[in-house]
């Protein structure tokens, strides 16, 4: 039997040496490489051609390979699209507006959580990416082998000889776990997953590498691409939205930083026609004089997937969305929609952050006022210092009210935003009391800009 020596380049940091029997075809070579290297199919083989000064050429026929030894480079056939630039998106679409939703006002206590029975479990996410990635449990037989191999590693430092079936099973489980948080994880996040894997199962460390996780990270990256392709064939909306047959536009619709439920599946048992009927009922409910907030919330919950599909895929004008989804522009539903998308209690998050920075803001305001460069700030701070009750509310108001003054911006442009936020942080009684207290000492011209 005639053998040949191969130098296989998987990546710049992963280069393997193999001795194999000369295959009869390229397809047989692919099968051998998958078995020997424990990798998945779906790659293109290039070889260094001695006829062209060892430049890379695609391997189309096995006879093209040098007879004794050859250098191969594998390229996985993954189609990646660049993320859209800001200039690609219209400034007048709701999709653009949704990406800046983190700057909107806070959520109310009446915002309800997801109805787990209504939404599909495969795309209804409730947790942000964890600081320490939890490695899932594998099948019983794989867990037994890993347990024994981990004990051997502790005793004598020997690693597990990972067979192809074990590696494929581990990668499949990891891909499912990663997708439960993100469909498009970053390289640094995949690195954390690989590190967590070898930390939990040190027997899986690759010998000869620094941390032993580098090969797992690369394999997981390719596995995620293949997993997304499987989900696209299955009709997962979050993946199919990025597939455009014959399209040359280099755009990729990905969730923003904290968007967990970016493009969920329709609820089980609901077709798009059913959801459109629910949307029409929601529209009728909004028009009623005695509108029921509970009915409205129920309709908005069940039509969430339809609404996200329109906003993400079609990127309609805000006026169009306001016409089709009037319930979305009701205060309570603004809060609830943020909860549905981000699973964050914006009210408590905003208040906590505001309180954490209050002392720093007031320190800056006082420094500027003491320099004689902020007369309005000085008046605002003097009024704050004179308060003896409800100090937390007054401090928060002073921080928000003083921000445009500190930045030398025209208050009437920005203060409406701050006042709007403040109104919905507190009860109307609290707000009216603070406004009454502040008005007693601030000049009339200064107050005119607020509209109060």
Question: Which tens digits make up the pLDDT trace of 238-254?
Answer: 787 776 544 444 456 76
What's the pLDDT score for residue 407? 82
What's the pLDDT score for residue 199? 92
Percentage of the chain lying above the pLDDT 90 cut:
15
Other Cβ atoms closer than 10 A to 244 = 11
Contact of 448 with 378, CB cutoff 8 Å: no
- Higher-pLDDT residue of 378 and 420 is 378
Q: What pLDDT band is residue 342 in, cutting at 50, 70 and 90?
A: confident
What's the pLDDT score for residue 82? 37
What's the pLDDT score for residue 192? 92
When the pLDDT of each residue in the chain is averaged and rounded to a whole number, the result is 76
CA–CA separation, 405 and 411 (whole Å): 7
pLDDT digits (tens, 9 = 90+) for 18-36: 888 888 888 888 888 888 8
pLDDT digits (tens, 9 = 90+) for 324-341: 999 888 878 888 888 888
User: Span 144-151, mean pLDDT?
Assistant: 92
**Integer CA distances (angstroms), 246 to 180, 250, 310, in order:** 30, 12, 22
Q: Is a pLDDT exceeding 50 seen at residue 187? A: yes
What's the pLDDT score for residue 452? 38
Q: Is a pLDDT exceeding 80 seen at residue 346? A: no
Q: What pLDDT band is residue 281 in, cutting at 50, 70 and 90?
A: very high
CA–CA separation, 143 and 153 (whole Å): 15
As beta bridge partners, residue 11 has 14
What's the pLDDT score for residue 62? 86
For the chain, list the domains and their CATH numbers.
3-76 (3.10.20.90), 86-115+261-342 (no CATH), 140-235 (no CATH), 346-448 (no CATH)
Q: What are phi and psi of 17, to 5 degrees?
A: -115, 130
What's the pLDDT score for residue 58? 87
Note the pTM of the prediction, 2 decimals: 0.46
Instruction: Collect all residues with Cβ–Cβ distance below 8 Å to 325 and sequence separation of at least 6.
Output: 279, 282, 307
pLDDT digits (tens, 9 = 90+) for 302-318: 998 898 888 888 888 88
Q: Is a pLDDT exceeding 80 seen at residue 214? A: yes
């Amino acid at each position: 039997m005639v053998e040949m020596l191969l130098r296989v380049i998987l990546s710049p940091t992963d280069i393997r040496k193999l001795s194999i029997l000369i295959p009869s075809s390229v397809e047989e070579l692919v099968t051998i490489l998958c078995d020997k290297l424990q990798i998945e199919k779906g790659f293109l083989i290039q070889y260094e051609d001695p006829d062209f000064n060892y430049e890379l050429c695609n391997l189309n026929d096995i006879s093209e390979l040098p007879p004794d030894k050859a250098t191969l480079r594998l390229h996985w056939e993954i189609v990646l699209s660049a993320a859209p630039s800001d200039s690609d998106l219209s400034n007048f679409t709701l999709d653009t507006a949704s990406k800046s939703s983190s700057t909107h006002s806070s959520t109310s206590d009446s915002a309800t959580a997801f109805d787990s029975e209504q939404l599909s479990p495969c795309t209804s996410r409730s947790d942000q990416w964890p600081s320490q990635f939890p490695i899932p449990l594998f099948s019983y037989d794989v867990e037994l082998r890993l347990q024994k191999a981990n004990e051997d590693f502790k005793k004598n430092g020997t690693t597990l000889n990972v067979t192809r079936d074990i590696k494929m099973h581990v990668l499949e489980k990891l891909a499912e776990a990663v997708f439960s948080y993100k469909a498009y994880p970053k390289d640094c996040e995949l690195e954390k997953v690989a590190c967590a894997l070898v930390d939990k199962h040190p027997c899986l460390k690759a010998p000869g590498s620094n941390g032993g996780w580098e090969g797992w990270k690369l394999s997981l990256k390719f596995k995620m691409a293949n997993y997304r392709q499987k989900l696209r064939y299955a009709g997962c909306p979050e993946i199919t939205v990025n597939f455009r047959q014959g399209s040359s536009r280099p755009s990729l619709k990905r969730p923003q930083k904290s968007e967990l439920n970016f493009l969920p599946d329709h609820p089980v048992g609901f077709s798009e026609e059913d959801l459109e009927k629910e949307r029409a009922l929601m529209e009728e409910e909004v028009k009623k004089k005695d509108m029921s907030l509970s009915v409205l919330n129920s309709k908005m919950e069940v039509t969430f997937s339809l609404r996200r599909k329109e906003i993400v895929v079609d990127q309609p004008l805000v006026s169009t969305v306001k016409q089709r989804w009037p319930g979305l522009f009701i205060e309570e539903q603004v809060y609830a929609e943020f909860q549905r998308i981000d699973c964050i209690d914006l009210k408590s998050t905003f208040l906590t952050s505001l309180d954490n920075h209050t002392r720093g803001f007031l320190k800056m305001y006082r420094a500027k006022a003491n320099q004689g460069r902020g007369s309005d700030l000085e008046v605002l701070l003097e009024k704050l210092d004179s308060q003896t009750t409800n100090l937390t509310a007054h401090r928060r108001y002073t921080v928000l009210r003083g921000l445009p003054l500190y930045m030398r911006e025209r208050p009437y442009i920005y203060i409406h935003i701050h006042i709007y936020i403040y109104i919905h942080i507190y009860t109307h009684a609290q707000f009216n009391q603070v406004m009454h207290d502040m008005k007693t000492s601030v000049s009339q011209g200064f107050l005119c800009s607020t509209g109060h």
